Amino acid sequence: MKTYKDIHAHSINDPEDFWAKQAEKIAWFEPPATVLSEKKDGTHRWFSGGKLNTAYLCLDHHVLNGHGDQLALIYDSPVTGTQRKITYAELLQSVKQFAGGLQSLGVNKGDRVVVYMPNMPEAVVTMLACARLGAIHSVVFGGFAARELAVRIDDCTPKVIVAASCGIEGSRVIPYKPILDSAIELATYTPEHCVILQRPEAAATLIVERDIDWVSLSNLGHEAECTPVDATDPLYILYTSGTTGKPKGVVRDNGGHAVALRYSMEAIYDIEPGEVFWAASDVGWVVGHSYIVYAPLITGCTTVIFEGKPVGTPDPGAFWRVISEHKVVVMFTAPTAFRAIRKQDPQATALAQYDISHLERLYLAGERLDPATYDWLASTVQVSVLDHWWQTETGWAIVANMAGIESQPVKPGSATVPVPGYDVQVIDFDEKQLKPGEEGRIVIKLPLPPGCLTTLWNASDRYIESYLSHHPGYYLTGDSGYIDEDGYVFIMGRIDDVINVAGHRLSTGEMEEVVGNHPAIAECAVIAVKDTLRGDVPIGFAVLKDGAEISEEVLEKELIKEVREKIGAFAYFRRVVVTKRLPKTRSGKILRATMRKIAGHQPYTIPATIDDPATLDEITKNMEAHHICATT
């Protein structure tokens, strides 16, 4: 059996041969004529000449091979008190019917469809129906503000928008239709139709001629067959935040995406067809696209779509219940979810009610898995807890513990080793290769493997400028970190999270690692505040575990001592602020850049992805009460 090192070397030294073998596992209508090609602008394309259909791979292929009665989708919604189990044959029928309905509205290959729905089966049906027609879907996280939705409508000019009447966040019902109507008024482009799924929690008023009922459209009686598309044709557009304020529309193709995701399920997650895979994310995020919908269904797994929260729906035992009831074999979520569980239930007493013996591996991504959270999880679940690192732009993991090839010893704080296909390097600003242990810019030598973004929608120049122009021949990840002597990759934070304290370049991630290890702390953030004397000084913000009894003064003294001992006095870590909550995106990422702007009295816009805008007011008041501000 080949080792991880052999396989990774093969993927880097002969990528065409490596990915040609992986492409054989996909049911092509026509196999690709060329595995890897380079365009005039220096970008690369995979599997040119190949024809396929992603919805066919997800559904028809399995039904035709006798697996129609297998469960494809388990819908678990504690916020509505409902569960549904849908087989591959049933899901295929629903997709055929809804694709037929979209076809009756004039949706064809290459047309765009915006999807504005919460975590529910109809969102999956809509995405797959678009893929079936060769249309390009763009899922916008349900509940996004009207202005942000309008920007996306203007950018991708959808022929149709498919939306639910409402979403449910914990105990709050959020009507979507008024937001959608406002967005269309704000946008300069107007879609031809809106298809509305009426939910009993908040029915929407439909606009005559423009709006169509989702169920009625599905029941027209027309079933659409699969439209063959080129491997290089777009499957979807997914918007991610941009530094200019205008979101970037990441474009994912059909062929490379299918090959990469099928490979990832085998090599990274080590899961077999028929087993239950649960990505506790949202269809509006890249994790939801890749690992709620496409990867599990292409592989022939059963995927769980969960409409709820890790705590509060109804308690911190929600995740344990889902794992137990649905016999989940592999789970994937963000570290922040387990930080929330740990905060409310630090002794994991809720776990005692459930049998999670079917769970074999637990994967974390989306935010750095700090050693304190890793240690708590590893001692709590008694299964492999594996960090991995990837981005919206890549669509699947860049660095991971390759359970399906050769499991590596875990090093807390590291996402482990580069995934085959990714040539991960650490360089300085002048492209000098750094030595093991030296922190610098993490880049990926081109070509990127299949499944990564191929361009930005209507912005190919911006794609090159944002990712490829900084260091020619490399993709700039935007993250900083280092690779140790064993080849393990440590992601320490974004490039702009590296601070300069009196000439010492330090990582806020390294300090967060120390702060987060304190037994009273549930989660933390360290940001840099400008200082006239030292350039930058770090400030720690800490959320305490429920029931923790420690004063802010004592905590601050203990953490100052820890940072001094573990990093050094030169870090000048002198301030710790206890706060009830940290401002985060809906996917769980802490808004450190926004916190820095607040501390520096700089203007900022409330990020569209923020989970709760009130947290910014709270953190501002906390900073003012503690007299935290820049001195330059």
User: Mind listing the pLDDT tens digit for each residue in 282-327?
Assistant: 999 999 999 999 999 999 999 999 999 999 999 999 999 999 999 9
CATH topology of domain 4-308+388-481: Rossmann fold (3.40.50)
**Residues 233-244: tens digit of each pLDDT:** 999 999 987 555
- Is the CB of residue 451 less than 8 Å from the CB of residue 394? yes
Residue-level pLDDT at 408: 94
Question: What is the location of CATH 3.30.300.30 in the chain?
Answer: 502-625
Q: How far is CA 282 from CA 31, 114, 304, 333, in A?
A: 33, 16, 11, 10
Question: What is the location of CATH 3.40.50.12780 in the chain?
Answer: 4-308+388-481
Residues 6+ apart with CB under 8 A from 483: 424, 425, 426, 436, 489, 490
Tokens representing 340 are: 């929330």
Residue-level pLDDT at 42: 83
**Residues 581-614: tens digit of each pLDDT:** 999 887 778 888 889 889 888 888 888 778 888 8
Mean pLDDT of the chain: 93
Interatomic CA distance for residues 351 and 451, integer angstroms: 36
pTM, 2 dp:
0.86
Ranking 163-177, 340-354, 522-536, 553-567 by mean pLDDT, the lowest is 522-536
Which of the 8 DSSP states describes residue 140?
A: -
- Is the CB of residue 119 less than 8 Å from the CB of residue 282? yes
Tokens representing 170 are: 């914990």
- Buried b / exposed e over 606-624, threshold 16 CB at 10 Å, is ebbbbbeeebbeebeebbe
Tokens representing 117 are: 């729905």
Q: In the predicted model, what is the mean pLDDT of residues 557-577?
A: 87
- Is the CB of residue 520 less than 8 Å from the CB of residue 493? no
pLDDT value at 497 more than 80: no
Name the pLDDT band for 579 (thresholds 50, 70, 90): very high
Give phi and psi for 200, each to the nearest 5: -65, -20
Residue-level pLDDT at 504: 64
pLDDT value at 205 more than 80: yes
Ranking 246-260, 345-359, 573-587 by mean pLDDT, the lowest is 573-587
Ranking 22-31, 40-49, 514-523, 528-537 by mean pLDDT, the lowest is 528-537
Q: Which CATH superfamily is domain 502-625 in?
A: ANL, C-terminal domain (3.30.300.30)
